[in-house]
Amino acid sequence: MADHRIVSVLIPAVGGQGGGVLSEWIIDAALLAGFPAQSTSIPGVAQRTGSTSYVVEIFTRPRAELNGQEPVFCLFPVPGALDVLLAPELLEVGRAIEAGFASPSRTTIISSTHRLYSIHEKMPAGDAIYPREWLEEAARTFSRRFVSFDALALARANRTEANAVLLGALAATGVMPVGVDSFRKAIEQKGVEVAANLKGFEVGYELVRRGADRPAPAGSVAKASVRPEFAAECAPYPEPLRPIVAEALHRLIDYQDRAYAERYLRRLEPFVAGDHDPYTLGGLVARHLAVWMTYEDAIRVADLKTRAARFRRIETEHRAPAGQLVITDYLKPDLDEIYGILPYRLVRPLAAFAERRWPRGRPTLGQHVKITTVSGFLRVWLLARLRPLRPISYRARHEHALMAEWLGAVEQCLRLDYDLACEVARGAQLVKGYGDVRRRMVAAFRALLDSVLAAAAIDPGAARALAEECRTLVLRGPEGEDAASQTAGRTLERLRRSVAGSVLQRDRLPSD
Amino acid sequence: MGERTFAEDVKQLGYGAGQILQGEGILAITKAVLQSGVSYIGGYPGAPVSHLLDVMGDANEPLLKPMGIYFEASGSEAAAAALLGASLNYPMRGVVTWKSVVGTNVASDALSHVASAGVVGGALIVIGEDYGEGASILQERTHSVALKSSLPLLDPRNSLSAFAHFVEEGFNLSEVCGQPVLFSIRIRAAHMRGTLVCKDNIPPKISMRSRIDHAVFNIEKINLPPFTYAMEAQKFEHRLPAAQRYIHEHGFNEHRPGAEESIGIVMQGGLYNTTARALALLGAADLYGASPVPLLILNAIHPLVPEELCGFLRGKRRVLVVEEGMPNYIEQQLKALAHDERLSVEIHGKDLFGQYGELVPYVVVSGLKKFLTMHEAATVPGADVERRFEALTAHRAKLGAILPTPVAKRPPTFCTGCPERPVFSAMKILRTKQPEVGDTHVSADIGCHSFGTQAPFNVGNTILGYGMGLSSSNAVAPLFGKRVVSVMGDGGFWHNGLTNGVANAVFNKQDSVLVILENFYTSATGQQHNPSTGKNARNEPTTMTIPQALRGLGVTWIKTVNPYRIGEMLGTLRRALTTREGGLKVIIARGECQLERQRRERPLIRKKTERGERVSQPKFGVDPDVCTGDHSCMRVNGCPSLTLRDNPDPLRDDPIAHVDASCVGCGVCGEVAHAAVLCPSFYEVKTISNPGPWERLVGRVRMRVIGALAGA
Ligand code: SF4
């Protein structure tokens, strides 16, 4: 018997991605080419969004030679015996590898690099996206060949579907017993969006044939370049800080004015002067301070919402001139945000009252503003004109006091331990959100400062670990906030006991 | 059903002798049903057998009516099982279908009664064995039901022609032994694509075109003592022996001898393909399934035929049973038989495969390896098996180092724009913002809305069966410190919830809140029609409504809410939970299944746009510079289209929210941001295609003014 095989293909997809059509094209192509083939699927619970999978098996011996014999097809992909893993989404590659399907000696992995994030990656308050590098490394290690490219982006650019692009890529790898023309015929035979799908097929086919399927390196390049208009001004700064400071200057002037930007530079100064290569602490303070000083008050939001650039962005996204767009903004400032923009002296009594009266969840002013009408636009635009009031506003007083507290803590820690100072600087990442969310995050941040400073007095190393742990926990979301405060309590308790213990021991020593 | 059509499948169902049908396993079964001369067809939808009913719905006018076949989508599995009563006295064939084991549980009452009285016309029950990977229900198998009710159970080998063959034989078997026959099909087998050589469809002798004209009365068929005693005796003295005879004489089970005479493998037919592949991978079979190891493929797993089994066991030293799920009835029966017959054969099974769980390839390969290497067999050298096994699995050891943490789970969730999701958003907001009222016990139910128990909502403390949301809170409510909530879909309401839930609660004077998610279809199984649709499966208009049904049962506090208005939903929930009024309070969250709606509206919109008519299409967006990346919207919204993207701001760390192109503009993004007071980042954009001249002018003037103020 000649060396015939069963070629098995697994398509792990996310519901609604067209994995079904992809598997049908493959099986149709095989049947057209005269090979026995079978496919099946696990459709997943919902029609959308769950993990779904399709399996196709093709016998490499043409039916004409079989004399009535039937190969036995399996309805499951077999771990370790998989020939092709064809994935419309990258995380699903990881899932298939995790289940042991892909094997370094046998499997060709073809994957789109784009991601559909799972809810568990989306929910945490920080960055919980499963590391792309891990997925790509796994795909490289667990395959004979790893072909990857952003099929979705290619499809969009060519006005076609990602699954057609992937089919082309599959055809180009040559791992299938089926010839390229049979794939084309399968698309034609199906009769849906034939022209667009054929186009997609060719795009994928060409890409892989040319060997142009290397994924773009991760990380954005933009982060490293210095804004030219501030290049001169940033020249005195150490090299790693220049792009950050330039970005910060741009942002602060845009937010308030030149004087405000200078205030920033003055505040930053001590953290740069005392730092050394690679300027980790300086960079952290520079970045977080700039973001914090441009906190999103109602004036800032109004400003961002009424910019020409915003309308241009939406026009391109929706491929229509602004005159044909009706944009409605969902604004719902709460009481804090409203009186926040008024002068401190004026609203202090009101604020004190509000905090007592509504300790949790202040009253709000919900509005749907049609910003593409003149009256709607004016309402928001006029609010943005209040910018000169900002420096004397209630909110400014509050925010800057808190910033000072943070910078003070960083300085204090710097005297004890550089890494501890960096960790405390990183804590500012927690200060974000609006309304209640921001109040909660700020509370978590202050709790972090308090406990870390207390711990630092006893053991700076433990304090650094604590700061990192608390920040990570809070970034996991509301449940993490409780966990963080418990951890802090426990750590402090432990540290205090150990101090008491060692004091006790020292006291005892002589009598022993 | 729904607005989907199955025109291609319906066409193939009409094929005559010799024509080749191409499609899924379940379609082959459907076709074989029509080739068997059935008089009636019924069932309740559920994966993986919904398709049978869906296609029959569409085939009703062109195919079933002309043949005089009665078709219904039954109100529940119990109603479907009771349909088989038609075959009790009258010599007509019928088929019903449902998802098992849950559907079988619902059907049990009627099923036991039919099984007791026995049938004179062939009755087939196609059960979708929703077990293992991809299953949506709890993990039990149907085997025990077959045993306790003495129902023959077919579990055929996976090929379309085998399915068709055993459907036809199933009817014959049923008539020969006088019992309804269970025909089991697994998920992957139901969706398996292949080909079938068709036969002609056979119109039934008794049909809506040639009806029965007199009622048959046979007191011996009445399920009351003393006749039930006689029925029980019949089962064991006549019916099961007759079944065994037929199964044996018609070669249901396949014995494949092999050179390796001292060992053998017995398997359920449905597991043949996996077993054959595993043998091939271990070098103990070729790709056509030919193996030196003798195989016994049981396409009928109840009743087993002792002669067949003894014949297989006799002379063997060791036999392996490939059987899925617990209890391991086949293995136990084999062991008992070997004992009774004093055969000195070792019987293995669960000791090598593990007790529970689906027999996926890895499990089967591992178990077979153990079996084949127990003693040296001449044609299958142990070392060779070991080496091949090693080659298949060696790479697994490296996994942990490269994927240090498990890949993020992707739990199923509500579709983009789903009307049910915002109800859970509202419940979650109430729980966090007003825990003294909203943080209460919630009894969830089965249906799409059971995803409410998953991330990001985690709303729902129990799921206890279809339509059981309300009844499962009946003992919690009086014993819980706050007013409790239960959830039900319209599917569950009409299936079971109306009687076991609402009537029961009103009768027992429950003080609790019921939220009914009415989306007009039984959506989780594929948008089948239910009474809320306003049309039955045959597309005939119906007039039942939920409020009417509720009022009929004496419920007075009924509020219907548009679920997309989260503020309103929140207010209504709060009122229901705090009102002084006792008794059952029902909130109906009414909004059409978005999948159905899109299926219908998308083509319409495309056509309108092409015709040059004015079309306004909403979508949502997030201002990237306003979003601070705290993701609180994700934790209350959960829409698949609301996702993340890299932060474009080089000074910030965390990814920001982003609405992708699949948004249908349902408005929930804005409503959530408002109701939960999250952030001002969300905006709605209505794109107007083909605006009128006046609108165009106004638009241009507005943008001129705005442009001047906004600056460059
Ligand atoms: S508006 Fe928001 S919730 Fe509704 S479909 Fe669009 S992204 Fe999903």
pLDDT digits (tens, 9 = 90+) for B458-499: 999 999 999 999 999 999 999 999 999 999 999 999 999 999
Domain boundary among B204, B221, B248: B248
Residues of A in contact with B432 (CB under 8 A): 478
Q: Are B427 and B478 members of one domain?
A: yes
Pick from B634, B658, B668 the residue to mutate for probing ligand 1's pocket: most ligand atoms within 8 Å of its CB.
B668
Which residues of chain A neighbour B276 with C-beta distances below 8 Å? 72, 74
- For residue B218, give the DSSP letter: -
Among B402, B432, B467, identify where a domain stops: B402
Contacts of A183 (CB under 8 A, 6+ apart): A25, A26, A29, A167, A168, A170, A171, A201
Residue B365, chain A, CB below 8 Å: the answer is: yes
Mean pLDDT of A160-177: 96
Residue to substitute from A40, A106, A310, A358, interface B, most B β-carbons within 10 A? A40
**Banded pLDDT at A355 (limits 50, 70, 90):** confident
Which residue in B273, B416, B595 is closest to A74 by CB distance?
B273
Amino acid residing at A323? G
**Is the N-terminal amide bond of A228 cis, ω within 30° of 0?**
no
Q: For residue B2, is it within any domain? A: no
Residue B436's alpha-carbon distances to A479, B430, B439, B441, B482, in angstroms, are 18, 9, 6, 12, 8
Q: Which of B636, B666, B674, B679 for a ligand 1 pocket mutation test, highest count of atoms within 8 Å of Cβ?
A: B666
Is the CB of residue A348 less than 8 Å from the CB of residue A394?
yes
pLDDT of residue A505: 57
Q: What pLDDT score does A50 carry?
A: 67
Pocket of ligand 1 contains residue B417 by CB under 6 Å: yes
> Range with the lowest mean pLDDT among A251-265, A307-321, B274-288?
A307-321
Q: In A73-131, where does DSSP find H-type helix?
A: 90-98, 119-122
- CA–CA gap between residue B179 and residue B170 (Å, rounded): 10
Same domain membership, residue B161 and residue B146: yes
Q: Do residues B629 and B504 share a domain?
A: no
Separation of alpha carbons B642 and A118, rounded Å: 11
Same domain, B176 and B30: yes
Torsion of CA A261, A264, A270, A271, to 10 degrees: -110
| C-beta neighbour count of B638 within 10 angstroms | 28
Of residues B201 and A356, the one with the higher pLDDT is B201
Which tens digits make up the pLDDT trace of B152-201? 999 999 999 999 999 999 999 999 999 999 999 999 999 999 889 999 99
For residues B207 and B243, state if they share a domain. yes
pLDDT band at A509 (very low <50, low <70, confident <90, very high): very low
Write down the pLDDT at residue A46: 45
Would you say residue A332 has pLDDT above 90? no
How far does residue B639's CA lie from ligand 1's centre (Å)?
6
The CA–CA distances, whole Å, from B60 to B5, B50, B199, B344 equal 12, 15, 19, 56
- B661 located within any domain: yes
What was the pLDDT predicted at A508? 53
The pLDDT, as a whole number, for residue A222 is 44
Q: Are residues B197 and B287 in the same domain?
A: no
Task: For B657, name the nearest residue in chain A, comparing CA atoms only.
Answer: A122
Q: Which of B248, B264, B295 is the last residue of a domain?
A: B248
Least confident of A68-72, A287-291, A346-350, B615-619: A346-350
Helix or strand run (H / E) with residue A505? helix A478-508
A421: left (phi over 0), alpha (psi -120 to 50) or beta: alpha
Instruction: Determine the Cα–Cα distance for residues A404 and A415; give it in Å rounded to an integer.
Output: 17
Question: Do both B337 and B425 map to the same domain?
Answer: no
Based on the fold, state whether residues B647 and B534 are members of the same structural domain. no
Sheet holding B318-322, edge to edge: B254-256, B295-298, B263-268, B318-322, B346-348
Q: What is the pLDDT of residue B120?
A: 97
Regarding whether B324 and B447 lie in a shared domain, the answer is: no
Residue B4 pLDDT: 60
Of B375 and B561, which is predicted with more confidence?
B561
Interface test with A, best of B574, B651, B660 (most A CBs within 10 A): B651
Separation between Cα atoms, residue B428 and residue B457, nearest integer Å: 6
Q: Which CATH class is domain A6-209?
A: alpha beta
d(CA B561, CA A138): 49
Contacts of B436 in chain A (CB under 8 A): none
Mean pLDDT score of chain B, rounded to an integer? 94
Binary contact (A323, B192; C-beta < 8 A)? no
How crowded is the C-beta side of B632, counted as CA atoms within 13 Å? 29
SS3 string of B265-332?
EEEEHHHHHHHHHHHHHCCCCCCCCCCCCCEEEECEEECCCHHHHHHHHCCCCEEEEECCCCCCHHHH
Amino acid making up residue A468: E
Supply the pLDDT for residue A507: 52
Report the length, in residues, of chain B: 712
Predicted local confidence at residue A45, as pLDDT: 53
Which pLDDT tens digit goes with each residue over B380-391? 899 999 999 999
Distances from the Cα of A251 to the Cαs of A254, A263, B473, B630, in angstroms?
A: 5, 13, 56, 20
The mean predicted confidence, pLDDT, of chain A is: 90
Q: Residues B139, B326: contact at Cβ < 8 Å?
A: no
Q: Which ranges constitute the DSSP H helices of B327-453?
A: 329-340, 350-353, 361-372, 382-393, 399-402, 421-433, 435-438
SS3 B58: helix
Does B602 fall in a domain? Answer: no
Calpha distance B256→A72 (Å, rounded):
15
Tell me the mean pLDDT in the region A422-431: 96
Residue A224 banded pLDDT, cuts 50, 70, 90: low
Please report the residues numbered 304 through 343 in chain B whose beta carbons come closer than 8 angstroms to any beta carbon of chain A: none
Q: pLDDT of B223-282, one tens digit each?
A: 999 999 999 999 999 999 999 999 999 999 999 999 999 999 999 999 999 999 999 999
Chain A touched by B693 (CB under 8 Å): no
On whether the CB atoms of residues A480 and A473 are closer than 8 A, the answer is: yes
Percent of chain B with pLDDT over 70: 99
What is the amino acid identity at position B488? M
Spatial CB neighbours of B453, under 8 Å, sequence gap ≥ 6? B444, B459, B460, B463
Q: What is the pLDDT of residue B324?
A: 96
pLDDT of residue A1: 44
- Secondary structure (3-state) at A7: strand
- d(Cα B565, Cα B633) in Å, to the nearest integer? 16
Backbone angles phi, psi at B224, to 5 degrees: -135, 150
Q: What is the pTM of this model?
A: 0.93
| C-beta neighbour count of A397 within 10 angstroms | 16
* pLDDT tens per residue across span B594-644: 888 988 899 999 999 999 999 999 999 999 999 999 999 999 999 999 999
Over residues A345-373, the mean pLDDT reads: 85
The pLDDT of residue A460 is 93
- Quick one: tokens of A382? 């006029």
What's the pLDDT band for A337 if we cut at 50, 70, 90? confident
Q: How many CB atoms lie within 10 A of CB B609?
A: 14
Domain boundaries, position B234? 7-248
In the chain, the amino acid numbered A289 is L
Q: A93, A136 in Cβ contact below 8 A?
A: no
Number of domains within chain B: 4
Whether a cis peptide bond, with omega within 30° of 0, leads into A278 is: yes
- The number of the ligand 1 atom at minimal distance from the alpha carbon of B417 is 5
Phi/psi-derived region of residue A279, left when phi > 0, alpha when psi is between -120 and 50, beta in every other case: left
- The CA distance from B384 to B377, in Å, is 11
Cβ–Cβ of B411/A119 closer than 8 Å?
yes
- State the Cα–Cα distance between residues B493 and B514, nearest whole angstrom: 11
Q: Of ligand 1's atoms, which has the minimum distance to the CA of residue B421?
A: 3
Residue A217 clears pLDDT 60, i.e. is over it:
no
Separation of CA B379 and ligand 1 centre (Å): 62
Q: How many CB atoms lie within 10 A of CB B139?
A: 14
Q: How confident is the model at residue A506 (pLDDT cuts 50, 70, 90)?
A: low
Structure tokens at A240: 């790693």
Cα separation, A310 vs B712, whole angstroms: 11
Rounded mean pLDDT of B94-114? Answer: 96
Q: What is the DSSP letter of A364?
A: B
Distance CA B256, CA B299 (A): 13
* Rounded alpha-carbon distances, angstroms, from residue A79 to A98, B193, B360: 10, 22, 10
String of DSSP letters for A8-48: EEEEEEETTSSHHHHHHHHHHHHHHTT--EEEEEE--SSSS
Alpha carbon A496 to chain centroid distance? 39
**pLDDT tens by residue, B375-414:** 878 888 999 999 999 999 999 888 888 898 999 988 888 9
- Pick the closest to residue A10 from A184, A129, A193, A143 (CA basis): A143
State residue B510's pLDDT score. 95
Chain A residue closest to B270 (CA)? A75
pLDDT at site A500: 80
What atom in ligand 1 is closest to the CA of residue B659? Answer: 7
Mean pLDDT value across residues B277-297: 96
Looking at residue B712, its pLDDT comes to: 55
* Rounded Cα gap, residues A101 and B706, in angstroms: 57
- The enclosing domain of B675 has a CATH number of 3.30.70
Amino acid identity of residue A377, one-letter, is F
Instruction: Check residue A221 and give its pLDDT.
Output: 41
Query: Is the separation of the CB atoms in B180 and B124 below 8 Å?
Result: yes
Closest CA to B593 of B421, B410, B412: B421
Instruction: Please provide residue B304's backbone torsions phi and psi, each rounded to the nearest 5 degrees.
Output: -80, 155
Lowest mean pLDDT among A85-99, A330-344, A476-490, B203-217: A330-344
Q: How confident is the model at residue A361 (pLDDT cuts 50, 70, 90)?
A: confident
In this prediction, residue A111 carries a pLDDT of 96
Q: What is the mean pLDDT of residues B346-365?
A: 96
Distance CA A341, CA A391 (A): 9
pLDDT one-digit tens code per residue, B315-331: 999 999 999 999 999 99
| CATH (domain of B134) | 3.40.50.970
Is there a single domain that holds both residue B546 and residue B663? no
At A351 the pLDDT is 83
Residue A449 has pLDDT above 60, yes or no: yes
Asked if B447 and B589 sit in the same domain, the reply is yes
The predicted pLDDT at position A310 comes to 95
Q: How far, in Å, CA of B494 to CA of B78, rounded?
A: 13
Are residues A318 and B685, on separate chains, in Cβ contact within 8 Å? yes
B495 and B525 part of one domain? yes
> What's phi and psi for B657, nearest 5 deg?
-75, 155
* Contact across the interface for A314 and B634, Cβ inside 8 Å: no
Strand-strand pairing, B153-154 and B123-129: unpaired
